[in-house]
Structure 1
Amino acid sequence: HLPHRRGGPFRWALIAGLLLILLLAALHLFAPATVAAAVLLPAVYLLYLYEVEVYADEPWLLIGATMVAGGVLGFVFTQVVGSAASALDLTGDSNGAFALQAIAIPIVGQLLMLAGPLALYVLRGRYREPLDGLTFGAASALGFSLATELTTLWPLLGGPLVATGDSVDWGLRLLRLGVLVALVNASTTGLITAAVWLQRYDRRRSERAWEAGVPATALVAAGAQVLLATVTVVLPELGIQVLVWVLAALALTLYVRQVIHQALLAEGSVREIGPAAPCPECHHVVPTMRFCPNCGAARAAAPRSSRMGTVA
């Protein structure tokens, strides 16, 4: 039920970005490929928000601040984790290293990605719709992922333009580190923040639709992060790692769609059938309802400027 107008170019942009990463890796241009992998999803995300005018009449400062805050936390987190991992390697503590990489890093990282959005939840109560929570959560996670990847691979960026190494290995590695990690982080963080916002917006629906509640989304998010981190540590085969990450990203995306559906139902519940007005998606003049009877787009997912004056 989300707006699908002008969505095609963004899908093609994402595909083109993935192909560019693989092409650069095939040409042994690993540093440019790393930059492309790191900025692909954040750039497409921000362009999408701008194009569909999600915040046409709202300041972009909060989204930018949330992404920057996630980036700062990601940079500091990577520095601290790197020092801890080095210390464990020196002592030969394999059990401690496993606990750090498979449990501590994914859990603490997830909590840090939630810090910025939850601060907005407390300090900016006017942004109370569940889709606001999803937007802020994804922005924070993408900023965090961007910073962690660039910090981890910074030595590579300072190396020669044309590097040596297995191009297939680097292509798969960058797809996981740059694209799949960012997608999973955005999904898990957006799940939790959307559920938190939904609980405040419509507590009864949040309790009735248990799959969109805070306990369920938090459990899925934490479980996915720990599972994927464990797979990455235990399975040495990079191709299998990427396959598992792809399957997990697809599953999380489907779950996000379900949570968004419940959020749209909650936001649409405050609107009864109203007078005829142009649908912001298909532009047909239809009665003001939760979902357009012509194209099926949710009125709650339209830009705020197009919803002004339609709320009962």
Structure 2
Amino acid sequence: MAPDQHVVRPWVVTSVFPRLPCRSRWAFRTGVLALGVLLAVFAFLHWQPPLIGISALGLPLLFGVYLKETDAFEDMSVSSLAAVAFLAAAIGTGWSFTLNAIWSVTYDDVLGTPMTPPEQLINLVLIPIGGVVLMLIPAVAVRIWRPDVREALDGYAIGAVSALFFTAAGTITQQASQFSNGLVAKDFPSDALFATAVVRGVAAPLTAVAIGGLIGATLWFKRRTDPTPARRRYIVTSPVFAITVAALTYIGQNGIDYMWIPYAEIVGLYAAITVVALLVLRIVLHSTVLGEAAPDTTPDQPVLCPQCTHVVPDRAYCVNCGVAAGAASRSSRKARRANRPVPAGSAPEGP
């Protein structure tokens, strides 16, 4: 995916957009940076409605551009992707309304009434686990349909779409009451708005991509049949591992929301959990791409590598940069094999 970057470094662009060719990375880095700048500007101006809108829809829109750039709408069913997004948004909206009803009964933030043990179990453990389960229902439904082709990065895209739209719908639903404050939220302190921008606009969507993506990748992972000594890799390619990481991640984030600590500490804790989630995502994607069944190849034929742009033998891995052939879209692989490079001297001469 990104042979020039170490696996255990949480690079945002190559983690969230793993199939991007090198030539497109700068554009998506610019897009991610633009989202961050917009969030900071709206928080500084106290413009709460656009801050909520960018927080909820910024990364999902950019992820849609990524799907278009990497031929996802050609490799996968457009109707399936649209159904996943719509169903995830509907479930996320319903879940947010349900949470508001649960919180009104089990937790009194105004009076500061301490929670009883059953309320702690519900609010701190069962609610985040329930959110993880609901968030991935659309992706699991697509997987149950048993797609003809199973590649980990396809599953990553479907799981990420499911989690992103679930989170976006929840953010808009929970923050909808703030639109009544008008364009400028004069009564909100600046540190609260900046914390909201980081938590809801950066940490929440990035964590959603990481969690949804790693679960989707493990659900679509198809293990190689040839003997390989790297059996330990299959621990992190198991859906059980991914679901465990997801539950722990959201239990941790949910616990932060109940802490009476300064906004700076809240931002720091959310950022730490997001970084860990991205690291786990990189490790899982690296392991699934290396460990899954290799696409059909013809080693005696040349092909153009989309990452390093060298002409190399058509193998499971590029002999020049080491990137896996499966890291490119199926449409890209098909097009490059249909138009293989030929030596200059062997080109047919014109009349």
TM-score (norm 1): 0.90
Residue 33 of structure 1 and its aligned partner are, at CA, apart by 0.9
> Does 1:151 find its partner at 2:169?
no
Q: Name the amino acid aligned to 2:266.
A: Q
Instruction: Tell me if structure 2 keeps the 8 A contact 1:207–1:213.
Output: no
Q: Paired residue for 1:288, among 289, 301, 314?
A: 314
In 1, distance between residues paired with 2:42 and 2:139? 35
Residue 207 of structure 1 and its aligned partner are, at CA, apart by 6.1
Q: Name the amino acid aligned to 2:54.
A: A
In 1, distance between residues paired with 2:293 and 2:42? 45
In 1, distance between residues paired with 2:101 and 2:263? 25
In 2, distance between residues paired with 1:57 and 1:129? 11
Match of 1:166 in 2: 189
| Deviates further, 36-45 or 296-305 | 296-305
Instruction: Tell me if structure 2 keeps the 8 A contact 1:134–1:191.
Output: yes
SS at match of 1:158: helix
SS at match of 2:38: helix
Residue 253 of structure 1 and its aligned partner are, at CA, apart by 0.9
Q: Paired residue for 1:189, among 212, 223, 227?
A: 212
Match of 2:253 in 1: 228
Instruction: Tell me if structure 1 keeps the 8 A contact 2:224–2:293.
Output: no
Match of 2:49 in 1: 31
Instruction: Tell me if structure 2 keeps the 8 A contact 1:56–1:303.
Output: no
SS at match of 2:55: helix
In 2, distance between residues paired with 1:85 and 1:188? 24
Q: Name the amino acid aligned to 1:123.
A: W
Residue 259 of structure 1 and its aligned partner are, at CA, apart by 1.1
Residue segments in structure 1 that go unaligned for 5+ positions in a row? none
Q: Name the amino acid aligned to 2:212.
A: T
Q: Paired residue for 2:272, among 219, 224, 247?
A: 247
Match of 1:120 in 2: 142
| Deviates further, 181-190 or 265-274 | 265-274
In 2, distance between residues paired with 1:35 and 1:81? 21
Point out the structure with max Rg over C-alpha: 2
> Does 1:131 find its partner at 2:149?
no
Instruction: Tell me if structure 1 keeps the 8 A contact 2:215–2:242.
Output: yes
Residue 173 of structure 1 and its aligned partner are, at CA, apart by 1.5
Residue 97 of structure 1 and its aligned partner are, at CA, apart by 4.2
Match of 2:133 in 1: 111
Q: Which has the larger share of helix?
A: 1
Residue segments in structure 2 that go unaligned for 5+ positions in a row? 3-20, 339-351
Match of 1:303 in 2: 329
Q: Name the amino acid aligned to 1:143.
A: F
Match of 1:260 in 2: 285
SS at match of 1:275: strand
Match of 2:115 in 1: 94
Instruction: Tell me if structure 1 keeps the 8 A contact 2:39–2:55.
Output: yes
Percent of residue pairs identical: 27
Residue 157 of structure 1 and its aligned partner are, at CA, apart by 2.0
The total of aligned residue pairs comes to: 310
CA RMSD of superposed structures (Å): 2.5
Residue 270 of structure 1 and its aligned partner are, at CA, apart by 4.5
